[in-house]
Structure formats: C-alpha cells, structure tokens
Structure 1
C-alpha cells in the first residue's frame, strides 16, 4: 500500500549536532505537508526508536529517515546497513544528510542502499534551502510505502 499525501508523515532525524538538527527541524516545519519529526542524537538511540525498545516502546514507524553519517558510537553507515538489511525496515527511505563530500562515503552509502545522499552546505540559507528541497521531494512528490 502507498501512503496518501493527506496523512501526517513520520520523520526520524538522526543527527548529533543540535544546531544542524534545529535548522533541519525548522526547515521541515515549513513543509507543505503535515509531518511529525522525531529527533535522536545517537545511533543506538535511533535503533532503539526503530525497534521500539528502551526509551521508545511506543515509537511510530517512520516514513522517512534523515541520517547524518558522522555520529558518536554507532555511526550512520552502521545504521544504514542495519536498516537496509532488516526486512521490516528496508522500505523506509533513508536520506543521508551529512557534511562529508568524500566520494568514498557517497559510494558506500549508495552501496548500502541509501535512497539519496546530500552534502550539508555550510551557509545557513543554503542549508535551509537544501532541507526544503528534500522536504518538497520526499514529502510532496514521492509516494511513501505504508509498510
């Protein structure tokens, strides 16, 4: 089944930088579609959220994951690998949003089945624009799976 655009979209933001998270949250709040954003700062917490364990027994299944690669502990590459290897999670689109423009990170992310890879601009206005473009595409144009 495909999610209808009138429903609220559940977004899981996995980002350790509070300033980047706040910019992302503000930008996504301006989306043309209703969304609920959940923010976790560490990889282990992200996996707890996705598997509804620990502090997140009632966590909703996200419709979209926005993932930073460079996280303390379990990093974004490990999260991406685990999500895409799990039959119950692999259909969730994962947008890698990271400071790394390293070609090796780009290739590895796509090898791990990332749905797209976006390098964070250093300019605040450009960062906001990039997040809004992600939002416009993934929350408005794309049909997301229900399961």
Structure 2
C-alpha cells in the first residue's frame, strides 16, 4: 500500500485551506491534508510530532495574524528537526521583497496563489512532483 503524504496547510482563511486541499486531492490519492489556522498551531502540532514522524510538506501562508509566515519560517528553519520538512510559502503576495525574504529564511519555494482553480491544480501537481515523489 502506498504511503499517504501528510500535508500541513497553514492559512488563516478557511476557504483557501479547503481549495488547496481540493486541488491536491483532485490528482493525488495518497494525501492527508491537515488544516492549521495559524503559525502558533503549526509549531504546537509539530512539537507533538517531533519523535513520531514528520509531515511530507508544509504549505505556509505568509500573511497571518499573530506570528506571520516569516516568523514561523524562521522558527522552522533554525530547528534541526523541523528544517528538513519542505516548506512552500503560498501567498497572495507577488512582491520580489517577500520572495527574497522567505528564501533568505530558508523556504524551499515561494508561490503566489493563482486566480483560478485549474491553475491551482496545475501548481499543486508541480509541487507534488517536486516534493512528494
């Protein structure tokens, strides 16, 4: 049996979380998407998993209340255990400055959220090919 990939979708927008999940599930059978509404919940969730297996991928929104994506990325990528987890910053921003900042913090990929579901499916397929295959 094929191993299910655990994808953490960290976004404060409920609709965005569900659409991202739907895009992954439209082409991939072996995914288990877990929703986390903010960065603090992500860090807590990961701490609970620390010794029981890391997720396959983190989809991290950049602009969230509380600790934003930059702060969370810094926490992830400075931790010897968590920094191995591929982290895709998935945001409405298309700013060059934001892109450079997240790469400087150790993000594996910076993606601007597309404006159609079909484009999102194409994007999630590309992400899956890069990080889940």
TM beyond 0.5: yes
Count of residue pairs brought into register by the alignment: 133
The answer as to whether partners of 2:23 and 2:117 remain within 8 angstroms in 1 is no
Q: SS of the counterpart of 1:11?
A: strand
Alpha-carbon distance between aligned partners in 2 of 1:121 and 1:111, rounded to the nearest angstrom: 23
Which string of whole-angstrom CA distances, capped at 9 and with x for unpartnered residues, describes residues 24-64 of structure 1? 10111134451211110111111111111xxx899852121
Alpha-carbon distance between aligned partners in 2 of 1:59 and 1:77, rounded to the nearest angstrom: 26
Which sections of structure 1, spanning at least 5 residues, go unmatched? 1-5, 141-147
The alpha-carbon deviation at position 7 of structure 1 amounts to 1.9
Alpha-carbon distance between aligned partners in 2 of 1:123 and 1:102, rounded to the nearest angstrom: 20
TM-score by length of 1: 0.81
The answer as to whether partners of 2:90 and 2:111 remain within 8 angstroms in 1 is yes
Which sections of structure 2, spanning at least 5 residues, go unmatched? none
Q: SS of the counterpart of 1:97?
A: strand
Alpha-carbon distance between aligned partners in 1 of 2:52 and 2:60, rounded to the nearest angstrom: 17
Which string of whole-angstrom CA distances, capped at 9 and with x for unpartnered residues, describes residues 87-113 of structure 1? 011110101111101111100000011
Q: With CA pairs under 8 Å and 6+ residues apart, which has the higher RCO, 1 or 2?
A: 1
Which string of whole-angstrom CA distances, capped at 9 and with x for unpartnered residues, describes residues 61-94 of structure 1? 2121111101111111111000000001111010
CA RMSD of aligned residues (A): 2.2
The answer as to whether partners of 1:32 and 1:136 remain within 8 angstroms in 2 is no
The alpha-carbon deviation at position 8 of structure 1 amounts to 1.6
Q: How does 1:89-104 map to 2 (within 5 A)?
A: 89-104=82-97
1:76 paired residue among 69, 77, 81? 69
TM-score by length of 2: 0.89
Evaluate the alpha carbon distance shift between residue 123 and residue 41 of structure 1 in structure 2; reply closer, same or farther with a 3 A threshold. Answer: same
- Higher percent of residues as helix: 2
